[in-house]
Amino acid sequence: MGRICCKEEVCIGCRLCEVWCQVEHSESRDIIKAFLYEKERAIPRVRVEERGPVSFALQCRHCEEPDCVFACISGALYKKDGVVVHDASKCVGCWSCVLACPYGAIIMDEAHGKAWKCDLCEGRGVPICVEKCPNEALEVEHNGV
Amino acid sequence: MECEYLIIGNSAGGIGATEAIREVDREGELIMVSEESYRAYSRALIPYYLAGEIELEKVYYRNVDFYARNNIRVISGKKAVAIDFDNKEVEMEDGQRIRYGELLLATGSTPFIPPMEGLSYDYTGGKFDKDGVFTFTSLDDAVEIKRSVESGYVENAVVLGGGRIGLMAAEALMRLGLNVTVIKRSERLLPEVFDETASRMVKRHLKESGLLMLTGHTVKEVMGERSVERIVLDDGTEIGCDLLIIAAGVRPRVELVRGTEVKVNRGIVVDGRMRTSVEDVYACGDCAEVYDFAYDDFRLTPLWATAYAGGRIAGFNMCGVEKEYRWGTNMNSMHFFGLPVIAAGVSAEEGGYEVLKEVEEEKKIYRKIVLREGRVVGVILMNKIERAGLFLCFMRRGIDVSPFKEELLSADFALISLPEVLRGAMMR
Ligand SMILES: Cc1cc2nc3c(=O)[nH]c(=O)nc-3n(C[C@H](O)[C@H](O)[C@H](O)COP(=O)(O)OP(=O)(O)OC[C@H]3O[C@@H](n4cnc5c(N)ncnc54)[C@H](O)[C@@H]3O)c2cc1C
Ligand code: SF4
Ligand code: SF4
């Protein structure tokens, strides 16, 4: 597919992308249920970095030569049709990918010993953060695959 | 038998190479030979398997159909015993000969067994002359240790060696409910990458986690009739044990090329393209001395990531795509009883470097950045490691960090901490 890009000057730092990412990766995919009733809230795979007036959302860049995949000791990370995929059921939380990712785009879930990253909302078409960003700061940059 | 690409070793390095080769050449006959009879599994996962954190099925590195999908022929459970470089042929233990166009040596490493009275080790068969004594470098080791623990007769375990492998073994055994003692020769933990502070802090954490470690000692003698019963330390102390794991480090496995035209130093000597001194013969992973960008030198770097990435570069070069390996350094990502620690590059040394440090002993937070002429050459992070990759990226790309040096130690250091121009350049 491609990767999600954020226009820094358009991002307003509202963090709705994080919220919707959580919803999309929750069990119910329903915002009320996801935040109110589910045993545990899903971990967002996008993160908004903010400092003073500057903010931007950062997701996995789905690198052409993905350092995280080379480093992953379990085979949980692999590349398929241009998308860098993470199979959480194989992940052991060794954090090798955390050291390898040049952007700091891997999210550590220390409580469960799992890494998480953007999966481009596999199967959804348009990633939910792109769809829900109120200021249209996010867009999918296609790479032709 | 004949093939275009022959790979000895079906692990990180070998798989890295095959995946690169198949990106370029879908057809060329590719054979992998492996002494182990399993399909490729991750050696680095055996502690997780031993501890019961993952099922055996999860130890495998790629899907069952990996070889079929990639048109790879695997000869497993058989050892390559000799190479005839003139005729470009590898001889297998059963006499079979395989002609190759390009050959990759991804033979990994073997455990080092320090000499001890009362114990001998057969390197070819990988067996000790006493029961209850194991190495911890293969899935077979893990399966056997697990079986032995599950028999219910094991209570006290001793791990000889306090390196990364020894500590992982010790932690796994503790999780299985055994009493574990680690015997370690040097006082400093992981002296290759830890400084005094990191060593002290991790040692303290290990102690608080209930691990008993005796530093400054070696094992003089292993006692017991058929199986291990006691060990005797250099100072005469005796420790009762019914399970002994020897994890005193690994050595490059170079027996196939020792005494041949292939140049061997401590490991097989390769150039930036992973070529050995013999034409059409490549090497990668634990058996080779590969380029380390932080040291700007060729060194042993026995790690999963460097083996895979080196194999990848070898694979490209084997099918005519010229690439240089500039990817790796001694880059360790570890966790000890839940404490995440990262150490990469020139992280233990300090003399002649500019060193930035932040220590919060009680919170087990340590951040250390080693700089040379404004460039990061080493890093240690204990806890709060999530953005560690940025440091490795600075190291790899030789980015001048002096304009934002004072940000580097901040716990929330991230991409946003970088000057906009640099950030823009990195994101492209
Ligand atoms: C317990 C443990 C934990 C580890 N944890 C980590 C970690 O967390 N992170 C990390 O980066 N690294 C870790 N490592 C190191 C990592 O596993 C190795 O660096 C990596 O496996 C090296 O890969 P390789 O392909 O070079 O060789 P190996 O994985 O050693 O594989 C070589 C293969 O070649 C076969 N072979 C050798 N000679 C012959 C022959 N003559 N004929 C046929 N077959 C042959 C061997 O049987 C073996 O299957 C760990 C290692 C161990 C043992
Ligand atoms: S996690 Fe990091 S290294 Fe891996 S593909 Fe994404 S951006 Fe690249
Ligand atoms: S934390 Fe998980 S995904 Fe990351 S390298 Fe380790 S096993 Fe692979």
At a CB cut-off of 8 Å and minimum separation 6, what does B346 contact?
B294, B295, B353, B370, B372, B377, B378
Q: Which of B58, B344, B414 sits opposite A99 (nearest CB)?
A: B344
Q: What percent of chain A has pLDDT over 90?
A: 94
Token pair belonging to B55: 């099922």
**Does the beta carbon of B404 lie under 8 angstroms from any beta carbon of chain A?**
no
The answer on pLDDT for A68 being more than 60 is: yes
Taking an 8 Å cut-off on Cβ atoms, the answer to whether B61 and A99 are in contact is: no
**Does the beta carbon of B335 lie under 8 angstroms from any beta carbon of chain A?**
yes
Give the whole-angstrom CA distance, residue A12 versus residue A66: 29
The answer on pLDDT for A143 being more than 90 is: no
**What pLDDT score was predicted for residue B124?**
85
pLDDT tens-digit series, residues B131-158: 999 999 999 999 999 999 999 999 999 9
Taking an 8 Å cut-off on Cβ atoms, the answer to whether B333 and A70 are in contact is: no
Taking an 8 Å cut-off on Cβ atoms, the answer to whether A98 and B342 are in contact is: yes
User: Closest by alpha carbon to B347, among B391, B410, B285?
Assistant: B391
Cβ neighbourhood burial of B419 (10 Å; 0-12, 13-18, 19+): exposed
Q: Is residue A93 in contact with ligand 3, taking CB distance under 6 Å?
A: yes
**Does the beta carbon of B305 lie under 8 angstroms from any beta carbon of chain A?**
yes
**What pLDDT score was predicted for residue B82?**
98
Q: Mean pLDDT across chain B, nearest whole number? A: 97
The answer on pLDDT for A90 being more than 80 is: yes
Question: What are the C-alpha distances in Å from B272 to residues A21, B257, B265, B323?
Answer: 42, 20, 16, 8
**Does the beta carbon of B384 lie under 8 angstroms from any beta carbon of chain A?**
no
At a CB cut-off of 8 Å and minimum separation 6, what does A128 contact?
A20, A21, A23, A24, A121
The answer on pLDDT for B295 being more than 70 is: yes
**Does the beta carbon of B48 lie under 8 angstroms from any beta carbon of chain A?**
yes
A residues 50-79 near B, CB within 8 Å?
A: 50-51, 54-56, 58, 61, 67, 70-71, 73-75
Q: What percent of chain B has pLDDT over 70?
A: 100
A78: nearest CA partner in chain B:
B62
Q: Which of A75, A94, A107 sits opposite B333 (nearest CB)?
A: A94
The rounded Å distance from CA B37 to ligand 3 centre is 25
pLDDT tens-digit series, residues B349-358: 889 999 999 9
pTM confidence score: 0.97
The rounded Å distance from CA B18 to ligand 3 centre is 21
Q: What percent of chain A has pLDDT over 70?
A: 99
Q: What is the DSSP code string of B347-386?
A: -S--TTSEEEEEEETTTTEEEEEEEETTEEEEEEEES--T
- E runs forming strands in B185-319: 212-215, 219-223, 230-233, 238-240, 243-246, 250-252, 268-269, 281-283, 288-292, 297-300
Give the whole-angstrom CA distance, residue B278 versus residue B264: 11
Please compute the mean of the pLDDT values over residues B226-243 and round it to a whole number: 96
Note whether B136 and B180 are within 8 A (CB).
Answer: no
Cβ atoms within 10 Å, residue B354: 15
pLDDT tens-digit series, residues B185-208: 999 999 999 999 999 999 999 999
**Does the beta carbon of A16 lie under 8 angstroms from any beta carbon of chain B?**
no
pLDDT tens-digit series, residues B62-94: 999 999 999 999 999 999 999 999 999 999 999
Give the whole-angstrom CA distance, residue B166 versus residue B159: 6
The Cα of B93 is separated from the nearest Cα of chain A by a number of Å equal to 30
The Cα of A130 is separated from the nearest Cα of chain B by a number of Å equal to 18
Confidence band of A114 (pLDDT split at 50, 70, 90): very high
Q: Which of B309, B389, B414 sits opposite A99 (nearest CB)?
A: B389
**What pLDDT score was predicted for residue A144?**
59
Size of interface A-B (CB pairs under 8 A): 109
pLDDT tens-digit series, residues B367-405: 999 999 999 999 999 999 999 999 999 999 999 999 999
Please compute the mean of the pLDDT values over residues A30-47 and round it to a whole number: 94
The rounded Å distance from CA B54 to ligand 3 centre is 13
The answer on pLDDT for A145 being more than 60 is: no
Atom number, ligand 3, closest to the C-alpha of residue A68: 5
Taking an 8 Å cut-off on Cβ atoms, the answer to whether B414 and A89 are in contact is: no
The rounded Å distance from CA A118 to ligand 2 centre is 9
A54: nearest CA partner in chain B:
B416
The answer on pLDDT for B37 being more than 70 is: yes
Please compute the mean of the pLDDT values over residues A43-56 and round it to a whole number: 96
Q: In sequence order, which ranges of B114-163 are alpha helices (DSSP H)?
A: 139-150
